[in-house]
Chains A and B, each alone.
Chain A
Amino acid sequence: MTTLQLLLVDDEQDFLTYASRRFKRRNVETHTAINGPEALSMLREQHFDVMVLDMKMPGMDGLEVLEQALKESPDTRVILLTGHASTEAAVRGMALGAFEYLLKPLQFEELFFKVVEAGRSAQAAQ
């Protein structure tokens, strides 16, 4: 139970491709979803330690996904990733139970570090 299960959710395929490649190279079991509903259905089927979630996606927005995701899978740690710098949204996201609120652009190392930290917290909670 030490391999980290990661779900990346973003409407930018480029980001998904790039980030999942790098996570996989570091032995993180990485899955991707291109929108909220897809992410939620994956959460129902499988356990994830960490979900990295884009805030702004067409259709279902990040905060909505966050709320439902934590209902489905309370032990999953959710890292919100956004290009829109709103402190108010940060507070709301954190209050809804997000583990961390990160701003794009983000160096991969930083994201990786946060994911590992979130994973540690998730696995400790199980």
Chain B
Amino acid sequence: MKILKTIGDIVNRRNIHLKAQQAPKVNAMVQRCESFRQLLSANHAALETMSDMGDALSGLRPLDMTYVRSRCVSAVASVSRMVQALRSMNPGPYDELSPRLRDIAESIDKLIHATPYTPTDGPMILPLSEVEHRPDLAGPKTTTLVRASKELGLNAPEGFVFTAEAYRAFMNHGLREEIERLCMATEADDLAGLYTLSARITQHINTTPLPPQLHKQLQTMLENRPPARYAVRSSALNEDAAGTSFAGQYRSILNISPEGIADAYREVVGSAFSATAMSYRRNQGQRDDETVMCVACMEMVDAEVGGVIYTRDPLGQDQSNMQIHAVPGLPASIVDGACTPDTWAVDTQKMTVTHRHIADKQSMRRCLKSEGTYVELIPQGQGKIPCMKTSKVLQLARIGLRLEHFFKGPQDIEWAATRDKIVILQCRPLEIRTQGCVGTSESVTGAIIQGGITASPGTAAGPPHVVKGEVNLLDMPRGAVLLTDQAHPAWAVSLDRVSAIVAEHGSTAGHLANVAREFNVPAIFGIPNAVSKLSGHKMVTVDATQCAVFPGYRMQTPEPEKGPPPLMAKSPVMRCLREAMDHIIPLNLTNASSRGFCPSRCKTLHDITRFCHEMGVNEMVKVDQNLSDNAARRLVTDIPTRYWVIDMGNGMEATNQKTVTLDQIYSLPMLALWHGMNAKPWQGPPPPTPGGFLSVIMEASANPALAPGAYNDMGTRNFFIIGPRYCNLQSRYGFHFSTVEGHAGPFPDENYAYLQFKGGGASPDRRKMRAEMVRGILNRKGFLATAKDDAVFARMENETAQEILRGMMILGHIIMHTRQLDMDMNSPEDVKRHEQRLLAELLEILAPCNCPEPWRKTPPPTTSPQAPDTGGKGQSS
């Protein structure tokens, strides 16, 4: 409320003041001041948004489209505000800005929203037999399977597919916009938020009816097919693309009756918006709105045994062997990590089993007679029987070889076997991870437990955190070791925040293992009793390569910095951000005195920002020609200064002069600021050092804005905008821009001092060092300060007027005496040296003996009892 109160006060006082003076002109002036202030505030907001986008572009944090959209819109809104503010200062000359802004906004809109879909009358439902060469309609996962079965004569299920066309028609049914709206409106920075968002979206999808056309085509398809149960599987257009296998992120729904297909379809489509899938896309920089979910409905195979073939070792260790994993019943219990499978290693040259591991299998998944599946417990003792014979293992190995040969690379194959045949359910490229050597399983000393298999190699340490359900993910600390019973695919949602995974069940063939490898998260699966043995420890080190877990922190080499997911830089979201920023960041208007400095040359939001700022200042300067009591008066000390003062009411003695002297100023914050700025004479720029000087030259040649005579030239006037308790100073010294604002009144909760500081002429790293140093100093002096690139934002709030005035002095000293220091930021020692000097100077300035009264003036007698003009400090003197 402090700002309101201030303004209220100012307005009151002004109103009274006005009666005595020439009301309309002053009124117009104050309006102009207010507009100018709006302009500055919007300018600040716009630049902050742009700087944040620049940060994001470095790719050091995961991004999603929601981020890109919200930043773009914030930038446009702020720049719109600037335009409105400028136009309210002087409407005519700036009209041309609006259409420019509209054009830019339109270009950005096109980039950040998926192209609206226009129906093409293409088929929405197609039999599987017709999609062999149409990955664009059926998704690559489905077409691969159809090709394998046709060309190699392998068994694959019959069925049909909901095409990409079906998905687009479904989304066009109002869903697309609603999903985007939900994404924008739900805060999903953390897991809890993500789950909420996901629940809202999927609920919406589940209750949206199929478009009539789609419904009709589905009915026709079902009527022309023999009665069957179906496995309804995802087959997204971007699924299985190399490097971004969406393994297990999307749903497959098993054993569905024809009547249940529509619901199952919606559910699979909804799985594109599961928390796991969304966080996966976010970590990979994939766009939600470019995900196209095709859905295959394949006749259900009631498997006696099923599993996964890896035609090579996914960890790249055992080059000659093929891996075959199998469980009794449906293969689903492998991929969802519920069951530790039997595994065989097959030497494909000799076609012999070189190694086998028979697990103690406790349960299996079976088809229900009606619809759906259930888990059947395996009677004790029977779990250790191998779930298939060697002959079948070799038969599978031969299929694996043929597929690998046909698709010219290692494959990950899901299969199911009934009594008389083997059916291929899925076939996709297998990614081999060569990075991170897997050691031998020789015993190690000092381990808490050892065993299981390397699902993803590497070593990492962290506090163990037991996860039994999704709810346990919510309070999991960043960097924890995820400790779980089953290697469930849903845990993948947390991969960007765990350091390692240890699971009692699961295999390298599971989805979680796949994704863990993709994210470089070490993981050991199939290690018995891990939960009970590890959960008591405060910190454990997981050496997945050696399949051992040690107590405490035992990293031999420092943990490598986890960079951004490798795909982020080239990801679609990044690309979109970059393209959008082409309309936002580049600066074409550099030279304010050139003819080209006009609205029609504004090509980017940054151009408009610059233009508005420059023109806003001009409008303020022009003011004094319209008013008899000069609004902007030049500050004169011993000599005329480069500062002009604009009074918003009772900030200085009203006279008809064009200049003002310090003793005519009543604004305490301004006087404090001025005192800080001038308490110490500026010693001039630091002597140039080769590196620093060179960096200035480099910068200047790279950035036309810094060329002499360009925008923000040294000669620019600086403006104090003041009230008795308020002061705002926009200043530029060469390439250094700063805004200081403060309010110091009798009520602490209204008081603040604020600094925004940016720029420099030296290289970015030096400017950054300086910003960091200023942040450090201000933090020590009681400000809340942050630094970002070469900018510093600092504020002090809720303090007595006296504290705020001291704060203004500090800021005054800082803005004057850190100018050009960036040139001298060659090493941490330089930073330290300047920091110590500045701190010493500040101590001196703030010392009571040096902090005398001259600027503590008693304001003039007020014309109204309602409007006492004394600040807290003034009253006490």
> A residues near B, CB below 8 A?
1-2, 4, 26-27, 56, 82-88, 90-91, 93-95, 97, 99-105, 116-117, 119-121, 123-126
- Tell me which of A27, A90, A104, A124 contacts B76 (CB under 8 A): A90
Q: Given contacts A100-B81, A116-B1, are A90 and B73 in contact (CB under 8 A)?
A: yes
Give chain B residues whose Cβ lies under 8 Å from the Cβ of A99: 81
Q: Is B784 an interface residue (CB 8 A)?
A: no
Q: Which of these, B77, B106, B184, contacts A104 with CB under 8 Å?
A: B184
Whether the Cβ atoms of B34 and A85 lie closer than 8 Å is no
CA of A56 to CA of B84 in the docked complex: distance in angstroms? 23
Establish whether residues A85 and B11, one from each chain, have CB atoms under 8 Å apart when the complex forms. Answer: no
| Given contact pairs A101-B80, A117-B41, A120-B7, A83 touches B185 in the complex (Cβ within 8 A) | yes
CA distance A93 to B77 in the complex (A): 9
Q: Which residue of B lies closest to A124 (CB)?
A: B34
Q: Per a CB cutoff under 8 Å, which of A27, A84, A97 touches B184?
A: A84
In the complex, are the beta carbons of A103 and B102 less than 8 A apart? no
B76–A87 touching, CB < 8 Å: yes
B815 within 8 A of A: no
Instruction: Check B70 for interface membership: any CB of A closer than 8 A.
Output: yes
Question: Whole-angstrom distance between the alpha carbons of A100 and B41 in the complex?
Answer: 12
Q: Which 5 A-B pairs have the closest CB atoms?
A: A94-B80, A83-B185, A85-B69, A101-B77, A87-B105
Most buried by B among A95, A119, A124: A124
Query: B10-31: which residues lie under 8 A (CB-CB) from chain A?
Result: 10-11, 30-31
**By the criterion CB–CB under 8 Å, are A91 and B76 in contact?**
yes
Please give 8 more A-B residue pairs, beta carbons under 8 A apart, in addition to A84-B177, A86-B73, A93-B80.
Answer: A2-B5, A83-B184, A94-B80, A97-B84, A100-B77, A123-B4, A123-B8, A124-B7
**Interchain nearest-CB distance for B272 vs A (Å):** 20
Given A83-B185, A91-B102, A126-B11, A120 and B4 contact (CB-CB distance below 8 Å): yes
**Which residue in A83, A84, A90, A120 is a CB contact (below 8 Å) of B77?**
A90
> Could you show 15 A-B contacts with beta carbons less than 8 Å apart?
A2-B8, A4-B1, A82-B184, A83-B182, A84-B180, A85-B112, A86-B109, A91-B98, A94-B81, A95-B98, A117-B3, A117-B41, A120-B6, A124-B7, A125-B34
Cα distance, A94 to B42, chains bound together (Å): 12
Instruction: Determine how close the nearest CB of chain A comes to the CB of B603; give it in whole angstroms.
Output: 15
Q: Is B181 an interface residue (CB 8 A)?
A: yes
Q: How far is the CA of A117 from the CA of B182 in the complex (A)?
A: 28
User: Is A94 in contact with B184, judged by CB distance below 8 angstroms?
Assistant: no
Cα A104 to Cα B30 with chains together (Å): 33
Name the residue of chain A whose CB is nearest to the CB of B76: A87
* Residue pair A85, B80 in contact (C-beta under 8 Å): no
- CB-CB < 8 A to A95: which residues of B? 80, 84, 98
The residues of A that contact B84 with a CB separation of less than 8 Å are 94-95, 97
Distance between Cα atoms of A85 and B183 in the complex (Å): 10
A85 x B7 contact (CB < 8 A)? no
Residues of chain B from 62 to 102 with CB closer than 8 A to chain A in the complex? 66, 69-70, 72-74, 76-77, 80-81, 83-84, 98, 101-102
Complex CA–CA separation, A99 to B74 (angstroms): 13
